[in-house]
Amino acid sequence: MLEALTGTGLAASAGLNAYIPLLTMGLLARYSDLIDLPSGWQWLSNGWVIGILALLLAVEVVADKVPVVDHVNDIVQTVVRPTAGGLAFGAGSSSETVTVTDPGSFFSSHQWVPIVIGMVLAFGVHTVKAASRPVVNATTGGVGAPVASTAEDFGSVVLSLLAIVLPVLVLVGLVLMVLATWWVIRRRKRRKRERQPLEGVETQRLFG
């Protein structure tokens, strides 16, 4: 169960920011005893890989905070974040951490399963993130983009650390994401209702 929560937290984190959970695992595996990556995932702690992930993270952090650019970035990340989520779930769920001491039996006979699950989870979170950003930009005139992006990056870091150190608390993060999804859907429906009368007035002006 803890292995599943660890993988889920890391995959959800990747849905917010593709590089934070992978970089977190790589750094902790290289410089601490909090996580012991299995042999198939040792490459995450390689110095070159960590450097590349850090560079990609820097680009992502800047691009995601600029209105319009953040939308283009979300389109590109539609492929990147689910892929990172699959890698994060696969590596995290099969790693020995401070809370998981015997991950070997988890998904042992179907190694592709955790990767697919991670991709689906990350894609779901990414979809909510990408859908919420236009709402934030429209309601704040673009001012809210860097604030929302910073909150998402912070959430990604917290989820990654919780997934490794206190995976049970990942459930709290998932509840918050469900609430965020509900908020996004509600706001989009409200904007659609507000737009309809305005469109009706414009139509009357054109043809009236």
| Tens digit of pLDDT at every position of the chain (208 positions) | 677 888 888 999 999 999 999 999 999 999 988 888 888 888 999 999 999 999 999 999 999 988 888 888 889 899 999 999 998 988 877 776 766 655 655 555 566 778 888 899 999 889 888 888 887 777 777 777 888 889 889 989 988 998 888 877 777 777 777 776 677 667 666 766 666 554 554 545 544 5
What are the helix (H) ranges across 32-111? 47-63, 69-93
Q: What is the pLDDT of residue 41?
A: 85
What do you get for the CA distance between the two ends of the chain, in Å? 64
Q: Shortest CA distance to 160 belongs to which of 26, 54, 9, 19?
A: 9
Kindly give, in sequence order, each residue whose CB lies less than 8 Å from that of residue 178, ignoring residues fewer than 6 positions away: none
E strands, 90-182, are 96-97
Kindly give, in sequence order, each residue whose CB lies less than 8 Å from that of residue 117, ignoring residues fewer than 6 positions away: 7, 11, 86, 89
Q: What is the pLDDT of residue 30?
A: 92
Most distant CA atoms of the chain, gap in Å: 73
Look up residue 33 and give its DSSP letter. Answer: S
Q: How far apart are CA 112 and CA 151, in angstroms?
A: 32
Q: What is the pLDDT of residue 201?
A: 46
Q: What is the pLDDT of residue 10?
A: 92
The pair phi, psi for residue 18, each rounded to 5°, is: -60, -30
